[in-house]
Amino acid sequence: MAAGAPTIGVDLGGTNLRVGVVDAGGHVLEDRRVPAPTQADDIVETIAITARELAARNAASVVGIGAAGMVAHDGTIQYAPNLTALVGLPLRARIAALLDMAVAVDNDANVAVLAELAHGVAQGRSDVLLITLGTGIGGGIVTGGRLLRGAHGFAAEIGHFQVDPHGPRCACGQVGHWEAIASGRALGALGRAEAEAGRAPSVLASAGGDPTAITGVHVGAAAVAGEPDAVAILAVYAERVAIGLAGLANIFDPELVIVSGGLVELGDTLLGPVRRSFEGRIEGASRRPGIDIVPAALGEQAGVIGAAVLARALL
Ligand SMILES: [Zn+2]
């Protein structure tokens, strides 16, 4: 198969399953989007049927899958709090057997950074840190031009290091992880706490007056609208994002930090305060080149495109 042939990319999230065919230039030629089935056999079958159909029509011969979880080197889903039906499943082997095609599987944030490296904001870069700020926090780390996978495939679980031993419980069960204070879910919790203390009138109003209904989306929208109470909450949140980013930058020395995930839609309303707080926290800031913090370029297509890039290595 020619190196320029299209490849199949599969974005397997906790909510949605997307399968697309992507050309060598990173363009999605066509794609299918369905709610992710809840049973493992149904997920496997849906991926295989859709990939087979798209591959046949577009002369594609390889499949890449980005999955929301910890993916072992052999393509087994080792741990996936949002895809519990797949835990322990040898996803790569199962799909490959059904399709009789070469298949690669990796973590969804890992494939997102591959997408940005090949076709997005990180083209030509070799040391890049990508974070996804959504319900949780995910990460992909490229160092020296190579994706950091670790001994078992589980590297860059950047949401899960402890920043506060007295902090809230994390979705993974541990306490005070970065994700527990700096994810989109944590932004919602911050908004609820402020509203319950009577300090967030506009956020409360945007949630229909019910403090328990406040999510990160309400806080973000009110902050973009310039409501001072929401801007203040977002400043606290941005500082928490910057705490983790500065620590990671001190460890990995990236030339570029890419922010992706749902919260990136807030643009500079979020990234502005994150950049300012980051500058004040990184080691030796006045004696080192600046590190740009930029939004991801590929948006919700990053999963499919990155999985297709992952597959390209199989050609
Ligand atoms: Zn955790």
Give the 3-state secondary structure percentages of the chain, helix then strand then coil, rounded to 5: 45, 20, 35
Give the pLDDT confidence score for residue 12 in this predicted structure: 96
> Whole-angstrom Cα distance, residue 157 to residue 163?
14
Between the CA of 160 and the centroid of ligand 1 the distance, in Å, is: 4
Between the CA of 313 and the centroid of ligand 1 the distance, in Å, is: 31
Between the CA of 172 and the centroid of ligand 1 the distance, in Å, is: 4
How is residue 168 annotated by DSSP? P
Between the CA of 157 and the centroid of ligand 1 the distance, in Å, is: 9
What pTM was computed for the model?
0.95
Between the CA of 140 and the centroid of ligand 1 the distance, in Å, is: 16
Give the pLDDT confidence score for residue 2 in this predicted structure: 63
Q: Tell the burial category of 247 from Cβ atoms under 10 Å away from its Cβ (0-12, 13-18, 19+).
A: middle
Give the pLDDT confidence score for residue 81 in this predicted structure: 84
* Length of the chain measured in residues: 315
Between the CA of 178 and the centroid of ligand 1 the distance, in Å, is: 7
Provide the residues around ligand 1 (an ion) whose CB is within 5 A: 160, 170, 172, 174, 177
Between the CA of 119 and the centroid of ligand 1 the distance, in Å, is: 31
Question: pLDDT per position in the chain (315 positions), as tens?
Answer: 567 899 999 999 988 999 999 999 999 999 999 999 999 999 999 999 999 999 999 999 999 999 999 999 999 999 998 889 999 999 999 999 999 899 999 999 999 999 999 999 999 999 999 999 998 999 999 999 999 999 999 999 999 999 999 999 998 899 999 999 999 999 999 999 999 999 999 999 999 999 999 999 999 999 999 999 999 999 999 999 999 999 999 999 999 999 999 999 999 999 999 999 999 999 999 999 999 999 999 999 999 999 999 999 999
Q: Residue 251 is inside which H or E element, if any?
A: helix 228-252
How many degrees, rounded to 5, is the angle at CA 81 between CA 78 and CA 87?
A: 35
* Alpha-helical regions (H) of 166-253: 178-182, 184-196, 201-206, 216-224, 228-252
Between the CA of 170 and the centroid of ligand 1 the distance, in Å, is: 5
